[in-house]
């Protein structure tokens, strides 16, 4: 099976809630760079961070992350 | 309220930012110190002027090593004082992760500059300071990383991206050191004297390459957004 790429809607959801990268980073306890690299699909976050992001944005993990076809 | 203690988060963050800025100034001063020592040695090499102004090249080297030691002790003190202040609240540190990481990167860059500087002089009797700096840099990058301090604040500063980047960098350093070691092993057969000269560069490959790559990855991670 070909490896499918993990994409996300983190930036979209963050902007919808009026948060900057730094604000979201401070809320989940990571650096702004971490949020930046996740948004750009450069870095795949751990399950714990994905859950923390979902909780902070009031969304489900699968609303934020999805596998590109 | 006594002693002008800050009361709000904003005031505490502003004060911490000033402290970090001052630490940054100390680091820049170390670079200036190293550059001044370099210039003195350079002009001495060009004209032999140092004895004329009453300073020997050996004296300048001692001055550089003493300056480095003073800088390490000073930075350790600033870092200890900072941790005392930070310990009051994880909430504050959460908003300053980027500032702390930038300062850590600057500190690593200074050690790297000093290491490379001494590596180029390793055949001129500068081996002891070279190996000292190499050890400090290695320790700073691995054992004295925030993760190794095991406090809640340290955990915050060493987030999962930082750990991932460090892992990537260490792998690159390992590959670079192995490549250099292979070259050194071959060189021993043909020119043992040259192999002896190449020793410091093997250390540079193992220590400086991962640090340099780590700083590059951190810079790259911060771009955009």
Asked whether residue B146 carries a pLDDT value surpassing 60, the answer given is no
At B12 the pLDDT is 77
- Cβ distance of A33 and B160 shorter than 8 Å: no
Confidence band of B2 (pLDDT split at 50, 70, 90): very low
At B180 the pLDDT is 87
At B172 the pLDDT is 92
Best residue in A10, A12, A26, A31 to probe B by mutation, most B CBs within 10 Å?
A31
CA closest to A43 among chain B residues: B161
When pLDDT is averaged across residues B12-21 and rounded to a whole number, the result is: 78
Cα B182 off chain centre by:
27
With CA atoms as reference, report the closest residue to B28 among B85, B113, B101, B120.
B113
Instruction: Give the C-alpha distances (Å, rounded to integers) separating B65 from B116, B123, B159.
Output: 15, 17, 34
User: Which carries the bigger pLDDT value, residue B146 or residue B103?
Assistant: B103
Q: Give per-residue pLDDT as tens, B156-196.
A: 777 889 889 988 998 998 999 899 888 888 888 888 887 77
Confidence band of B1 (pLDDT split at 50, 70, 90): very low
- Cβ distance of B161 and A32 shorter than 8 Å: no
CA–CA separation, B219 vs B196, rounded Å?
A: 35
Confidence band of A40 (pLDDT split at 50, 70, 90): very high
At B3 the pLDDT is 47
At B55 the pLDDT is 56
CA–CA separation, B79 vs B95, rounded Å?
A: 18
Contact by Cβ (8 Å): A52, A28? yes
CA closest to A32 among chain B residues: B98
CA–CA separation, B215 vs B210, rounded Å?
A: 9
CB atoms within 10 A of CB B70: 12
């Amino acid at each position: 099976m070909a490896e499918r790429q993990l994409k996300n809607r983190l930036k979209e959801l963050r902007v919808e809630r009026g948060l900057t990268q730094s604000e979201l980073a401070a809320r989940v306890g990571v650096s702004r760079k971490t949020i930046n690299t996740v948004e750009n699909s450069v870095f795949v976050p751990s399950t714990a961070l994905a859950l923390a992001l979902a909780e902070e944005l009031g969304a489900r993990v699968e609303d934020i992350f999805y596998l590109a076809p | 309220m006594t002693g002008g203690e800050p009361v709000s988060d904003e005031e505490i963050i502003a004060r911490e930012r000033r402290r970090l800025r001052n630490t940054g100034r100390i680091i820049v001063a170390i670079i200036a110190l190293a550059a001044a020592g370099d210039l003195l040695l350079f002009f001495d090499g060009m004209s032999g002027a140092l004895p004329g102004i009453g300073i020997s090249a050996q004296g300048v080297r001692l001055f550089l090593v003493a300056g480095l030691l003073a800088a390490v002790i000073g930075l350790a003190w600033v870092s200890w004082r900072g941790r005392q202040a930070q310990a009051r609240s994880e909430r504050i540190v959460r908003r300053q992760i980027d500032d702390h990481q930038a300062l850590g990167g600057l500190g690593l860059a200074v050690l790297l500059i000093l290491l490379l500087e001494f590596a180029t002089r390793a055949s001129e009797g500068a081996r002891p300071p070279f190996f000292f700096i190499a050890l400090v840099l290695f320790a700073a990058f691995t054992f004295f990383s925030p993760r190794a301090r095991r406090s809640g604040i340290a955990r915050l500063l060493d987030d999962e991206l930082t750990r991932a980047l460090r892992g990537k960098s260490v792998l690159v350093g390992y590959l670079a050191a192995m490549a250099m070691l292979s070259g050194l092993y071959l060189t021993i057969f043909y020119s043992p004297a040259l192999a002896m000269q190449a020793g410091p560069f093997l250390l540079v490959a193992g220590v400086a390459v991962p640090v340099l790559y780590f700083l590059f990855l951190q810079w790259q991670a911060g771009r955009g957004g």
